[in-house]
Chain A
Amino acid sequence: MHIPDGFLDPWVLAGCFVLAAAAIGFSSWRLNGRLDDARVPLLGVVSAGIFAAQMLNWPIPGGTSAHFVGGAFAAILLGPYLGCLAMASVVVVQAFVFGDGGVLALGANLLNMAVVDVFVGYALFRALVGLGETIAAFVAGWGAITVSAAAVGLQAGLSSTFAYDLATTLTVMTAGHAVLGLVEGLITVLVVRYLLDVRPDLVLGLTGPNTGGDRPEEATV
Chain B
Amino acid sequence: MVYRGPYRVRVEEKDRPSIEHPNDAIVRVTRAAICGSDLHLYHGMMPDTRVGMTFGHEFVGVVDEVGPSVEHLRPGDRVMVPFNIFCGTCFYCARGMYANCHNVNPNATAVGGIYGYSHTTGGYDGAQAEYVRVPFADVGPSLLPDWMDEDDAVLLTDAVATGYFGAQLGDITEGDVVVVFGAGPVGLYAAKSAWLMGAGRVIVIDHLDYRLAKAAEFAHAETCNFTEYDDIVVHLKKITGYLGADVAIDAVGAEADGNLLQHVTAAKLKRQGGSPVALNWAIDSVRKGATISVMGAYGPIFSAIKFGDAMNKGLTLRMNQCPVKRQWPRLFEHVKAGYLKPSEIITHRIPLEHIAEGYHIFSAKLDDCIKPIIVPNAA
Decide whether A and B are members of one complex: no
User: Which A residues are closer than 8 A to B by beta carbons?
Assistant: none
